[in-house]
Amino acid sequence: MTLRQYLIVMGLGTILCATALGMVMFQVDPFRADVVTFSLFYACVFCTLIGLFSLITLPVIQAISTRRGTLLHRHVAKSVRISMYVAFLLTIFLFLRGARLLSPVSGLTLLAFIALIITVRITTKKKPDLLIV
């Protein structure tokens, strides 16, 4: 898949998820909605944020990349990974805020948990297997 195809597919997917999110927001009464409706709402928010942030962070990552010979798929993977972390964090914050469970302590705990996951991900690099003959 070329970069142009990736950008087109990700852009169309983001527009589709944003449209679904808009339909859920304007067509559903939140006071009479059931669990399935809220699950679809948060899934649409998550998918829209992933698409939006991956489209925003890809050019930024390419611009600040220190290694000029890095393959493009590594930039795309890093962009999607960062956007998944941010989308997960924002969706959880939105869920906790909607359930009236977001306090400074719970927010900082969630931020510390995400920071711990990112730190472990960065520090545990996969080592190449040694072939001993």
- Which pLDDT value is given to residue 121? 83
Q: 110, 93 in Cβ contact below 8 A?
A: yes
- Which pLDDT value is given to residue 26? 94
Q: Give helix 72-98 / helix 104-123 axis angle, nearest 10°.
A: 160
**Beta-carbon contacts of residue 75 (< 8 Å; ≥ 6 apart):** 58, 61, 62, 65
| 3-state class (DSSP) for residue 42 | helix
- Which pLDDT value is given to residue 52? 96
Task: Tell me the C-alpha distance between 56 and 54, whole Å.
Answer: 5
Q: Which residues of the chain fall below pLDDT 50?
A: none
Compute the 3-state secondary structure of the chain and give helix, strand, coil in percent, each to the nearest 5: 75, 0, 25
pLDDT digits (tens, 9 = 90+) for 70-89: 788 888 998 999 999 999 99
- Which pLDDT value is given to residue 93? 94
Task: Tell me the C-alpha distance between 106 and 68, whole Å.
Answer: 40
- Which pLDDT value is given to residue 37? 92
Over the Cα atoms of the chain, what is R_g? 19
Q: What's this model's pTM, rounded to 2 decimal places?
A: 0.83
- Which pLDDT value is given to residue 126? 67
Nearest to 10 by CA among 65, 68, 50: 50
- Which pLDDT value is given to residue 92? 94
